[in-house]
Amino acid sequence: MILRTRSKDLDLSHHTHLMGVVNVTPDSFSDGGKYFDAPAAVAHAEELIRDGADLLDVGGESSRPGADPVPLDEELRRVIPVIQELARRHPSVPLSIDTTKAEVARRAMRAGASLLNDISALRFDPGMAAVARETDVPVVLMHMQGNPRTMQTAPSYIDVVREIGSFFRERLAFAEKTGIAADRLLLDPGIGFGKTLDHNLQILKNLRALAEIGRPLVLGLSRKTFIARLLADGEKILSPQERSEGSLAGHLWAAAQGAHILRVHDVRGTRRALRVWQAIARGLAG
């Protein structure tokens, strides 16, 4: 399964690829705005590349639970300089723009991005499908119940895996109807986006059922709250930086269940863990 981007073709058939997270936001749940200014974000991205990231996901609007929307001009101000500089310095590293705004996506593609990661699955901005069609870039369609401000307000499903599968099939049909080629589409079940702890575990347990839809699976579970809850010591909920071991366990499980791309914060640690797991799985050294 080949994912074709403007920067590089990624062969998703043989191993799980790592998408390094570059948050250019002051309120990210994972790093608290540590890389908010462009130079810091670029330096962090280059560290992720050195650590082995196959591609990078640049975002300028936090999607943590309860997050407020960011105005268009501000989101552009945050992400475009970062994408421009990374595209100039590392033209062979595919850059993904994490946005729900069509104009941000359009300008990001002009600046050098070669993938679109839309947590709304082309639902929030009526112009997004046209941008995806016109730029002909791969598009990640993510499942989310509600929006970032409301998604964790009593999320409810009868059968979470079946409902996500139905959502994906409807979104794939919509994308193809609007002229987006089927081989450009990837699917993300949206761990933590309108899901309880039990919902997240059911999704992970049944990833193979979602893989059977036939499109590459992207998974973002790195440092998520459900990991902190699983690792909770009494009443204490671990900080994002204390969730590394739990994130690695989730990443290895996801890889074993057929996830093609993992969206991660700790690229180096995840790469090393995957290397050992893959060697064991294949029974081969090197």
* Biggest distance spanned by C-alpha atoms of the chain: 52
* DSSP secondary structure of 84-130: HHHHHH-TTS-EEEE-S-HHHHHHHHHHT--EEEETTTT-S-TTHHH
Q: Compute the Cα dihedral for 91, 78, 119, 34 and give only its sign.
A: positive
Residue 147 and residue 233: Cα distance in Å, rounded?
A: 30
The answer to whether 199 touches 155, Cβ cutoff 8 Å, is: yes
Residue labelled with tokens 């500089």: 85
Is residue 101 part of the annotated active site? The answer reads no
The catalytic position among 263, 272, 275, 282 is 263
Helix 197-205 × helix 160-177 angle, to 10°: 70
CA dihedral 273, 188, 169, 129 (to 10 degrees): -140
Is residue 50 part of the annotated active site? The answer reads no
Q: Tokens in use for 10?
A: 């990624």
Strand intervals (E) in the chain: 2-4, 9-11, 17-23, 55-59, 95-98, 115-118, 139-142, 185-188, 218-219, 261-264
- Would you tell me how many other CB atoms lie within 10 Å of the CB of residue 269? 16
The answer to whether 10 touches 94, Cβ cutoff 8 Å, is: yes
The catalytic position among 224, 229, 236, 271 is 224
Catalytic residues: 224, 263
